[in-house]
Amino acid sequence: MAVDLATKPGIAAASLTDVGRQRSNNEDSAIYWEPTSVAEFGRKGRLAVVADGMGGYEGGQEASRLAIETVQQVYHSDNENDPQKALTLALEAAHRSIQAYAEENPQFHGMGTTCTAIAIVGRELYFAHVGDSRLYLLRNNTAQRLTRDHSYVGRLVESGIVRSEDAESHPQRHILTSALGSGREVIPDAPAHAILLEDDDTLILCTDGLWSMVTEQDLIRTVQSNSLAESCRVLVNMALERGGPDNITVLMLKILPAA
Protein backbone atom coordinates (compact mmCIF):
# COMPACT_ATOMS: atom_id res chain seq x y z
CA MET A 1 0.00 0.00 0.00
CA ALA A 2 1.36 3.42 -0.96
CA VAL A 3 2.19 5.61 2.02
CA ASP A 4 1.77 9.39 2.28
CA LEU A 5 4.85 10.61 4.17
CA ALA A 6 4.63 13.15 6.97
CA THR A 7 6.32 16.34 5.86
CA LYS A 8 6.76 19.92 6.94
CA PRO A 9 4.75 22.44 4.88
CA GLY A 10 5.93 23.05 1.34
CA ILE A 11 5.87 19.61 -0.21
CA ALA A 12 3.84 16.42 -0.36
CA ALA A 13 5.60 13.04 -0.42
CA ALA A 14 4.65 9.40 -0.88
CA SER A 15 6.42 6.10 -1.44
CA LEU A 16 5.79 2.46 -2.24
CA THR A 17 7.94 -0.64 -2.61
CA ASP A 18 7.07 -4.12 -3.87
CA VAL A 19 9.08 -7.34 -4.08
CA GLY A 20 7.90 -7.89 -7.66
CA ARG A 21 6.71 -11.12 -9.27
CA GLN A 22 9.97 -13.03 -9.62
CA ARG A 23 12.01 -12.26 -6.48
CA SER A 24 11.62 -13.83 -3.05
CA ASN A 25 13.04 -10.90 -1.08
CA ASN A 26 13.18 -7.14 -1.47
CA GLU A 27 16.70 -5.71 -1.83
CA ASP A 28 15.47 -2.12 -2.32
CA SER A 29 15.49 0.48 0.45
CA ALA A 30 14.21 4.03 0.67
CA ILE A 31 14.08 6.79 3.27
CA TYR A 32 12.65 10.28 3.68
CA TRP A 33 14.03 12.48 6.47
CA GLU A 34 13.59 15.98 7.83
CA PRO A 35 15.34 17.57 10.84
CA THR A 36 13.10 18.20 13.80
CA SER A 37 14.44 21.63 14.75
CA VAL A 38 13.43 24.70 12.76
CA ALA A 39 17.00 25.99 12.58
CA GLU A 40 18.41 22.69 11.32
CA PHE A 41 15.57 22.34 8.83
CA GLY A 42 16.46 25.76 7.46
CA ARG A 43 20.04 24.61 6.86
CA LYS A 44 19.53 21.03 5.76
CA GLY A 45 16.02 20.92 4.36
CA ARG A 46 14.67 17.55 3.30
CA LEU A 47 16.51 14.35 2.39
CA ALA A 48 15.24 11.46 0.26
CA VAL A 49 17.24 8.37 -0.69
CA VAL A 50 16.55 5.28 -2.81
CA ALA A 51 18.92 2.30 -3.05
CA ASP A 52 18.81 -1.01 -4.95
CA GLY A 53 21.04 -3.68 -3.41
CA MET A 54 22.86 -6.60 -4.98
CA GLY A 55 24.94 -9.48 -3.71
CA GLY A 56 22.88 -12.53 -2.88
CA TYR A 57 19.83 -13.28 -0.79
CA GLU A 58 20.74 -11.09 2.21
CA GLY A 59 23.73 -9.19 0.87
CA GLY A 60 21.67 -6.85 -1.27
CA GLN A 61 19.26 -6.13 1.55
CA GLU A 62 22.11 -5.29 3.91
CA ALA A 63 23.90 -3.14 1.34
CA SER A 64 20.88 -0.99 0.54
CA ARG A 65 19.97 -0.69 4.23
CA LEU A 66 23.52 0.38 5.12
CA ALA A 67 23.50 2.88 2.28
CA ILE A 68 20.37 4.77 3.23
CA GLU A 69 21.18 4.70 6.96
CA THR A 70 24.74 5.93 6.43
CA VAL A 71 23.66 8.66 4.02
CA GLN A 72 21.05 9.90 6.49
CA GLN A 73 23.50 9.85 9.41
CA VAL A 74 26.32 11.61 7.56
CA TYR A 75 24.03 14.22 5.99
CA HIS A 76 22.46 14.89 9.38
CA SER A 77 25.78 15.28 11.19
CA ASP A 78 27.58 17.39 8.56
CA ASN A 79 28.18 20.93 9.83
CA GLU A 80 29.51 22.72 6.75
CA ASN A 81 26.16 24.04 5.49
CA ASP A 82 26.91 22.80 1.98
CA PRO A 83 24.14 20.34 1.04
CA GLN A 84 25.82 19.22 -2.18
CA LYS A 85 29.13 18.47 -0.50
CA ALA A 86 27.32 16.71 2.35
CA LEU A 87 25.48 14.41 -0.06
CA THR A 88 28.68 13.50 -1.89
CA LEU A 89 30.51 12.81 1.38
CA ALA A 90 27.54 10.75 2.56
CA LEU A 91 27.64 8.45 -0.48
CA GLU A 92 31.41 8.05 -0.15
CA ALA A 93 30.95 7.13 3.53
CA ALA A 94 28.25 4.61 2.61
CA HIS A 95 30.65 3.04 0.10
CA ARG A 96 33.23 2.53 2.86
CA SER A 97 30.63 1.26 5.32
CA ILE A 98 29.43 -1.42 2.92
CA GLN A 99 32.98 -2.53 2.17
CA ALA A 100 33.81 -2.73 5.88
CA TYR A 101 30.67 -4.75 6.55
CA ALA A 102 31.56 -7.21 3.78
CA GLU A 103 35.08 -7.62 5.20
CA GLU A 104 33.65 -8.40 8.63
CA ASN A 105 31.04 -10.76 7.17
CA PRO A 106 32.68 -12.82 4.38
CA GLN A 107 29.38 -14.41 3.40
CA PHE A 108 28.43 -10.99 2.01
CA HIS A 109 31.48 -10.66 -0.23
CA GLY A 110 30.44 -8.84 -3.40
CA MET A 111 27.56 -6.95 -1.80
CA GLY A 112 26.82 -3.52 -3.21
CA THR A 113 24.04 -1.11 -4.02
CA THR A 114 22.93 1.73 -6.21
CA CYS A 115 22.13 4.97 -4.40
CA THR A 116 20.34 8.11 -5.47
CA ALA A 117 20.06 10.80 -2.77
CA ILE A 118 18.48 14.24 -2.98
CA ALA A 119 18.30 17.22 -0.67
CA ILE A 120 15.77 20.02 -1.02
CA VAL A 121 16.72 23.17 0.87
CA GLY A 122 14.13 25.86 0.36
CA ARG A 123 13.44 25.56 -3.35
CA GLU A 124 16.94 24.35 -4.28
CA LEU A 125 17.51 20.74 -5.31
CA TYR A 126 20.84 18.95 -4.80
CA PHE A 127 21.60 15.30 -5.55
CA ALA A 128 24.33 12.67 -5.56
CA HIS A 129 24.07 9.43 -7.48
CA VAL A 130 25.84 6.10 -8.07
CA GLY A 131 24.41 3.19 -10.08
CA ASP A 132 21.25 2.95 -12.14
CA SER A 133 18.45 4.04 -9.86
CA ARG A 134 17.01 7.24 -11.27
CA LEU A 135 15.84 10.74 -10.44
CA TYR A 136 13.25 12.38 -12.68
CA LEU A 137 11.92 15.94 -12.63
CA LEU A 138 8.37 16.32 -13.96
CA ARG A 139 7.52 19.91 -14.94
CA ASN A 140 4.97 21.36 -17.35
CA ASN A 141 3.94 18.00 -18.82
CA THR A 142 7.51 16.92 -19.49
CA ALA A 143 9.83 14.45 -17.75
CA GLN A 144 13.54 15.14 -17.44
CA ARG A 145 15.91 12.46 -16.18
CA LEU A 146 18.47 14.18 -13.97
CA THR A 147 20.71 11.13 -13.40
CA ARG A 148 22.65 9.00 -15.86
CA ASP A 149 22.88 5.23 -15.54
CA HIS A 150 26.25 3.90 -14.39
CA SER A 151 25.83 0.75 -16.43
CA TYR A 152 27.32 -1.06 -19.38
CA VAL A 153 24.36 -0.13 -21.54
CA GLY A 154 24.51 3.44 -20.27
CA ARG A 155 28.03 3.66 -21.66
CA LEU A 156 26.84 2.25 -24.98
CA VAL A 157 24.16 4.93 -25.15
CA GLU A 158 26.63 7.70 -24.31
CA SER A 159 28.98 6.46 -27.03
CA GLY A 160 26.16 6.29 -29.60
CA ILE A 161 26.29 2.51 -30.04
CA VAL A 162 22.82 1.92 -28.55
CA ARG A 163 19.82 4.25 -28.94
CA SER A 164 18.43 5.60 -25.66
CA GLU A 165 14.95 4.25 -26.51
CA ASP A 166 16.43 0.74 -26.85
CA ALA A 167 18.40 0.89 -23.60
CA GLU A 168 15.38 0.37 -21.35
CA SER A 169 14.83 -3.16 -22.66
CA HIS A 170 18.44 -4.10 -23.46
CA PRO A 171 19.24 -7.59 -22.07
CA GLN A 172 22.46 -6.30 -20.46
CA ARG A 173 20.97 -3.18 -18.90
CA HIS A 174 21.46 -4.52 -15.37
CA ILE A 175 25.27 -4.72 -15.60
CA LEU A 176 26.54 -1.85 -13.42
CA THR A 177 29.82 -0.02 -13.95
CA SER A 178 29.68 1.70 -10.55
CA ALA A 179 28.00 0.84 -7.25
CA LEU A 180 28.49 1.60 -3.57
CA GLY A 181 30.63 -1.16 -2.05
CA SER A 182 32.16 -2.16 -5.38
CA GLY A 183 35.69 -1.15 -6.42
CA ARG A 184 38.30 0.84 -4.55
CA GLU A 185 36.49 4.16 -4.71
CA VAL A 186 33.36 5.74 -6.10
CA ILE A 187 32.87 9.18 -7.57
CA PRO A 188 29.20 10.12 -7.22
CA ASP A 189 27.59 12.14 -9.98
CA ALA A 190 26.37 15.55 -8.84
CA PRO A 191 24.97 18.65 -10.56
CA ALA A 192 27.31 21.59 -11.14
CA HIS A 193 24.77 23.90 -9.53
CA ALA A 194 21.64 23.56 -7.43
CA ILE A 195 18.45 23.19 -9.49
CA LEU A 196 15.76 25.75 -8.68
CA LEU A 197 12.42 24.04 -8.19
CA GLU A 198 9.06 25.55 -9.13
CA ASP A 199 5.48 25.20 -7.92
CA ASP A 200 3.97 21.82 -8.83
CA ASP A 201 7.31 20.24 -9.81
CA THR A 202 7.27 16.52 -9.04
CA LEU A 203 10.45 14.58 -8.28
CA ILE A 204 10.49 10.81 -8.76
CA LEU A 205 13.22 8.60 -7.31
CA CYS A 206 12.94 4.98 -8.43
CA THR A 207 14.83 1.74 -8.87
CA ASP A 208 15.21 -0.04 -12.20
CA GLY A 209 12.35 -2.35 -11.27
CA LEU A 210 10.11 0.60 -12.06
CA TRP A 211 11.84 2.57 -14.82
CA SER A 212 12.58 -0.52 -16.94
CA MET A 213 8.86 -1.34 -17.01
CA VAL A 214 7.26 2.09 -17.51
CA THR A 215 7.91 4.95 -19.90
CA GLU A 216 8.41 8.64 -19.21
CA GLN A 217 4.98 9.21 -20.75
CA ASP A 218 3.55 6.73 -18.25
CA LEU A 219 5.11 8.83 -15.46
CA ILE A 220 3.67 12.07 -16.82
CA ARG A 221 0.15 10.73 -17.43
CA THR A 222 -0.01 9.05 -14.04
CA VAL A 223 1.17 12.04 -12.02
CA GLN A 224 -1.12 14.41 -13.94
CA SER A 225 -4.26 12.53 -12.97
CA ASN A 226 -3.59 11.13 -9.48
CA SER A 227 -2.50 12.03 -5.99
CA LEU A 228 1.10 11.16 -5.12
CA ALA A 229 0.17 8.04 -3.16
CA GLU A 230 -2.18 6.90 -5.91
CA SER A 231 0.50 7.65 -8.53
CA CYS A 232 2.91 5.37 -6.67
CA ARG A 233 0.31 2.60 -6.57
CA VAL A 234 -0.62 2.97 -10.25
CA LEU A 235 2.99 2.92 -11.44
CA VAL A 236 3.98 -0.06 -9.30
CA ASN A 237 0.91 -1.98 -10.51
CA MET A 238 1.84 -1.08 -14.07
CA ALA A 239 5.31 -2.55 -13.57
CA LEU A 240 3.81 -5.67 -12.01
CA GLU A 241 1.34 -6.11 -14.87
CA ARG A 242 4.24 -5.93 -17.33
CA GLY A 243 6.09 -8.75 -15.63
CA GLY A 244 7.57 -7.30 -12.44
CA PRO A 245 10.89 -9.14 -12.84
CA ASP A 246 12.67 -7.09 -10.16
CA ASN A 247 11.97 -5.34 -6.88
CA ILE A 248 10.08 -2.08 -7.47
CA THR A 249 10.53 1.08 -5.40
CA VAL A 250 9.30 4.62 -6.02
CA LEU A 251 9.46 7.74 -3.86
CA MET A 252 7.73 10.93 -5.03
CA LEU A 253 7.89 14.51 -3.82
CA LYS A 254 5.77 17.40 -5.09
CA ILE A 255 6.52 21.09 -4.56
CA LEU A 256 3.42 22.82 -3.24
CA PRO A 257 2.61 26.49 -3.93
CA ALA A 258 3.22 28.80 -0.98
CA ALA A 259 0.10 29.35 1.08
Q: Report the half-sphere exposure of 119 (CA within 13 A, side-chain side).
A: 28
- Structural domains in the chain, CATH included, are 3-145+180-255 (3.60.40.10)
Contacts of 20 (CB under 8 A, 6+ apart): 209, 239, 240, 244, 245, 246, 247, 248
Write out the H or E segment, with its range, that includes residue 202.
Answer: strand 202-206
In degrees rounded to 5, what are phi and psi of residue 257?
-60, 145
Q: What is the pLDDT along the chain (259 residues), one digit of tens a residue?
A: 677 888 899 999 999 999 999 888 999 999 999 999 999 999 999 999 999 999 766 789 999 999 999 999 999 999 888 999 999 999 999 999 999 999 999 888 889 999 999 999 999 999 999 999 999 999 999 999 999 997 655 555 556 555 665 556 555 556 678 799 988 889 999 999 999 999 999 999 999 999 999 999 999 999 999 999 999 999 999 999 999 999 999 999 999 998 6
What pTM, to 2 d.p., does this model score?
0.92
Kindly report, residue by residue over 168-195, the tens digit of the pLDDT.
655 555 667 879 998 888 999 999 999 9
